[in-house]
């Protein structure tokens, strides 16, 4: 448990080390992967990445919320939320039960 935060920079560097492309092209491709995943989700597709997990979009209905400071009732409009379901492989890796 080192508690670091990994960002685009380190992921881009890993892609660069792994594949024989330039640093800038590696960074562009990482961005392109994220864009393709986001676009598919925005179209309502489920994105399933084997041994990692799946991302799906769920529709939430309208409900009455409350402003916690004033106690005032405010409607929470219907909206779409993204749900990530980790695969068993990922869950096992995180609990160090091998790959």
Least separation in angstroms between CB 71 and another protein = 27
Residue 76 near another protein by CB under 8 A = no
C-alpha to C-alpha distances, 14 to 5, 28, 30, 53, 82, nearest whole angstrom: 15, 13, 10, 20, 27
What token pair was written down for 44? 């309502």
Rank residues 49 and 74 by Cβ distance to another protein and give the closer one. Answer: 49
SS3 45: coil
Pairwise CA distance, residues 20 & 83, whole Å: 34
Length of the chain (residues): 99
Interface size with another protein, residues (CB under 8 A): 51
SS3 80: strand
Least separation in angstroms between CB 15 and another protein = 5
Letters for 5-44 (x = contact with another protein by CB under 8 A, - = none) are xxxx-xx--xx--xxxx----x--xx-xxx-xxx-xxx--
Contact set with another protein (CB under 8 A): 1-8, 10-11, 14-15, 18-21, 26, 29-30, 32-34, 36-38, 40-42, 45-53, 55, 57, 79-82, 84, 86, 90-91, 93-96
């Amino acid at each position: 448990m080192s508690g670091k935060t990994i960002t685009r920079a380190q992921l881009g560097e890993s892609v660069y080390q792994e594949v024989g492309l330039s640093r800038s092209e590696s960074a562009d491709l990482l961005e392109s992967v994220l864009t393709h995943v986001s676009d598919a989700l925005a179209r309502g597709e489920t994105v399933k990445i084997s041994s990692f997990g799946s991302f799906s979009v769920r529709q939430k209905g309208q409900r009455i919320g409350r402003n916690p400071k004033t106690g005032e009732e405010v409607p929470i409009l219907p909206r779409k939320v993204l749900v990530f379901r980790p695969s068993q492989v990922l869950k096992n890796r995180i609990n160090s039960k091998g790959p």
